[in-house]
Structure 1
């Protein structure tokens, strides 16, 4: 049975790039991730023609969660987030979508410590409805058929084994359970994409982000026995706004500004992938 206390589950192996990026330095404290959600944002409701404020940035991060949660449909359900980071998305889901209970899973022990600290009042007030657990996407510390929906926001680009993640998603979902995953992938399986992304973006060159086609996740979900697998690009609502926000902090020609270039060159895109356990 899952426990929410640190130290009661075997520690999963963490890739060195992930350990360093989400470790003691605390990526959520970097100004580009104002608000602490650590995602690129969903900017559809934000006017990009005017100067952006920090409140716009936070709204974009929250709206990406809302877009995924709309697809996952957690109301009244037992929900789990994979790669929960500081758990702010779990708190948003609990507040706005009224799940019966929600569990946040993350592979990095520092992130889980921060999640428990950031959500301490909620954990005290709603101990039966919110919990956090240390675990890898490929080997979840969760019971079979424990959840009605499973979602993940901008974490799958780090998962080393998408088929293992898909099998675990299928295992922990009840019949009729929903999966919703938002992340960035290559647009197809052309061999040159990985090298081109490594040349454009330091996060791919370092191995932090893994270059794979979105079809690999869709096929993995299908192979795991899930049905109604759907892939939808949400790049137009992500990349232009993300680059506008980056322009406040990064000069043209610096590597973070190349996410937009990779999208415009039809190498990389941002997707929402959904599926159902029959």
Structure 2
């Protein structure tokens, strides 16, 4: 098991330019495309896709992604948890208010996102300072002590990580013995090197470097290599991509790049996964 000291917070120069630009000037969580302060594609299971979708459906889909992950982490009562890539903090607030965590630390690499999170949740931070905090840090270099958390989760942030091995080592380090981790995001389903060029041709976010075409076998291998056990990857793409595409249909024409996420899923170039792992008891 890799051990080490807490890292220093990242500098602006360590942030990938596409991440800095995408999450800086614009509050994506205020846009109808996302809405509700969440920024994820959504977990659409249980939402009727055969009728026109409204903004309420979109917000519920994003909340449902957090419900899916936090339920996977159970039991959560009285636990100390780290969210890696907390964005605007909407999911961290759900975790505090609905899942009985003793404490949530929301970590993000982007200072403007963290400033927005603190503004949005000023009331909760004032009422429960012992249960919620926000901190700046990179997935590959976390500013926390060894074994500081009972569990760790990350929702739709891993596609921005630059080094899966460093993330896995840090996740193993900050988890206590017996701790649990859940990572959910979109990944290449296999090790076929042709997938990288294919995704760059289909999707602008991969072409610009905002998203990195990590494979799910690579993430599993890195987590296992860091000493985590019981690593399991489960596809949830069928609950993500059709709903996302249905939501986009009134906004984007077929064949435009945002509609190509479903195309990439259908052809096997991209999928969405929940990946679970444990740090062995000492």
Which residue is equivalent to 1:131? Answer: 133
Q: Distance in 2 between matches of 1:105 and 1:248?
A: 34
Q: Distance in 2 between matches of 1:27 and 1:16?
A: 17
CA offsets 1:2-38 (integer angstroms, 9 cap, x no match): 9xxxxx9453611101000000122223321121211
Q: Distance in 2 between matches of 1:58 and 1:23?
A: 22
Secondary structure at 1:31's aligned position in 2?
Answer: coil
Q: Distance in 1 between matches of 2:149 and 2:98?
A: 19
Which residue is equivalent to 1:18? Answer: 19
Which residue is equivalent to 1:52? Answer: 53
| Aligned pairs for 1:197-276 within 5 A | 197-276=199-278
Change over 3 Å in CA distance of 1:10–1:230 after alignment to 2? closer
2:9·2:138 contact (CA, 8 Å) conserved in 1? no
Q: Distance in 2 between matches of 1:34 and 1:139?
A: 30
1:187·1:214 contact (CA, 8 Å) conserved in 2? yes
Q: Distance in 1 between matches of 2:153 and 2:69?
A: 7
Give the superposed CA RMSD.
1.3
In the superposition, the TM-score normalised over structure 2's length comes to 0.94
Residue in structure 1 matching 2:197, options 179, 192, 195:
195
Q: Distance in 1 between matches of 2:115 and 2:238?
A: 34
Secondary structure at 2:95's aligned position in 1?
Answer: helix
Secondary structure at 1:33's aligned position in 2?
Answer: coil
Which residue is equivalent to 2:153? Answer: 151
Which residue is equivalent to 1:64? Answer: 65
1:204·1:210 contact (CA, 8 Å) conserved in 2? yes
CA offsets 1:156-200 (integer angstroms, 9 cap, x no match): 000000010000000000011000000000111111101110110
CA offsets 1:83-136 (integer angstroms, 9 cap, x no match): 000000000011110101000000000000000000000000000100000000
Stretches of 4+ aligned residues off by more than 4 angstroms: none
**Stretch moving more, 264-273 or 72-81:** 72-81
Structure 2 unaligned spans of 5+: none
1:81·1:104 contact (CA, 8 Å) conserved in 2? yes
CA offsets 1:201-257 (integer angstroms, 9 cap, x no match): 000000100012101111110000000000000000000000000112211111100
Which residue is equivalent to 1:5? Answer: none
Which residue is equivalent to 1:93? Answer: 95
2:37·2:89 contact (CA, 8 Å) conserved in 1? no
In the superposition, the TM-score normalised over structure 1's length comes to 0.96
Q: Distance in 2 between matches of 1:53 and 1:265?
A: 28
2:43·2:65 contact (CA, 8 Å) conserved in 1? yes
